[in-house]
Amino acid sequence: MNESKLEKLNAKGRQLLEEGNIEEARKLYHKILEYEDNIYVRNNLALAYYLSGDYDGALSVLKPVISDASILGEPNPFSFAVASMIYSALENEFQAVSYLKRAVGLYDQQLLQFNSNKVPVSFLEYTIIIMRAAAKLNDHRKVYDLYRRWRDLHVSWEADYMAAVACFNMRDYKKAIKFWENAGTTFSLANCMSKIAMKVMQGEIPFFEMNYEIFSERELDEMFQKVTKNEEYRRQFKKKGFFKMMAIDMFLSNEEGFATNWLRELINLGGEWGNQLGKRILNSYHYSAKMKSVAAQVLTEKGVFSPGEPIPAVIEGRKTQIKIKTQEIIMNQNEKLDEIISKARYLKNEGKLDDAINLLEDLMQKEQFYPPAMMNLANYYRLKDEKEKSLELFEILGEVLKDEPIYLFNYSALLLDMGNVQKAQEYFERIKRPGYTQEFEEKLKLLEEMLYHERIIPDDIMEYFEESMRTDVEKKAIPIAPSLARGLKNMPSQWLDEVGKAFDLEPARRRRDR
List pLDDT tens digits, range 178-192: 999 999 888 888 888
pTM of the predicted protein model: 0.66
Pairing of strands 328-329, 368-369: parallel
Q: What is the rounded distance in angstroms from the CA atom of residue 107 to the CA atom of residue 160?
A: 19
Q: What is the rounded distance in angstroms from the CA atom of residue 479 to the CA atom of residue 486?
A: 10
Treating both helix axes as pointing N-terminal to C-terminal, what angle do 126-136 and 157-169 enclose, rounded to 10 degrees? 20
Give the per-residue pLDDT at 220: 63
Reported as a pLDDT band with limits 50, 70 and 90, residue 108 is very high
CA-to-CA separations, 420 to 255, 425, 485, 493, 497, in angstroms, rounded: 11, 9, 34, 21, 19
In terms of average pLDDT, the best of 55-64, 105-114, 136-145, 305-314 is 136-145
Neighbour-count burial of 425, counting CB atoms closer than 10 A to its CB (0-12 exposed, 13-18 middle, 19+ buried): middle
* Span 477-487, pLDDT tens digits: 555 555 555 56
* Span 336-370, pLDDT tens digits: 888 888 999 999 888 898 999 998 888 777 666 78
Q: What is the rounded distance in angstroms from the CA atom of residue 418 to the CA atom of residue 183?
A: 37
| Domain range annotation of the chain | 3-182, 345-450, 461-502
Pseudo-torsion of CA 5, 9, 10, 13, nearest 10°? 170
Neighbour-count burial of 125, counting CB atoms closer than 10 A to its CB (0-12 exposed, 13-18 middle, 19+ buried): middle
Q: Locate the DSSP E strands across 238-331.
A: 311-315, 318-322, 328-329
Summarize the confidence of residues 305-327 as an average pLDDT: 84
The answer to whether domain 3-182 and domain 345-450 are alike in fold is yes
Pairing of strands 311-315, 318-322: antiparallel
Q: What is the rounded distance in angstroms from the CA atom of residue 420 to the CA atom of residue 291?
A: 20
Q: Which of 322, 278, 320, 277 is nearest to 299 (CA)?
A: 278
Q: Which residues of 212-247 are buried (b: 16+ CB within 10 A; e: fewer)?
A: bebbeeeeeeeeeeebeeeeeeeeebbebbbbbbbb
Q: Which of 293, 143, 310 is nearest to 211 (CA)?
A: 143
Give the per-residue pLDDT at 2: 56
Reported as a pLDDT band with limits 50, 70 and 90, residue 38 is confident
Homologous superfamily (CATH) of 345-450 is: Tetratricopeptide repeat domain (1.25.40.10)
In terms of average pLDDT, the best of 11-25, 171-185, 465-479 is 171-185
Q: What is the rounded distance in angstroms from the CA atom of residue 185 to the CA atom of residue 61?
A: 36
- Let me know: does 109 contact 136? Beta carbons within 8 Å: no
Give the per-residue pLDDT at 238: 64
Identify the weakest region by mean pLDDT among 255-259, 304-308, 326-330.
326-330
pLDDT at 259 over 60: yes
Q: What is the 3-state secondary structure (H, E, C) of 158-223?
A: HHHHHHHHHHHHCCCHHHHHHHHHHHCCCCCHHHHHHHHHHHHHCCCCCCCCCCCCCCCHHHHHHH
Give the per-residue pLDDT at 212: 92
Dihedral sign for Cα 458, 464, 465, 470, please: positive
More confident residue, 145 or 409: 145
Q: CATH topology for 3-182?
A: 1.25.40
- Which long-range contacts does 37-44 make (Cβ < 8 Å, 24+ apart)? 37/72, 38/72, 38/73, 39/65, 39/70, 39/72, 39/73, 39/74, 39/75, 39/76, 39/79, 40/10, 40/76, 41/10, 42/72, 42/79, 43/76, 43/78, 43/79, 43/82, 44/10, 44/13, 44/14, 44/17
Supply angle C-alpha 406, 347, 510, rounded to 5. 55
Q: What is the rounded distance in angstroms from the CA atom of residue 417 to the CA atom of residue 408?
A: 14
CA-to-CA separations, 63 to 68, 79, 88, in angstroms, rounded: 10, 9, 17
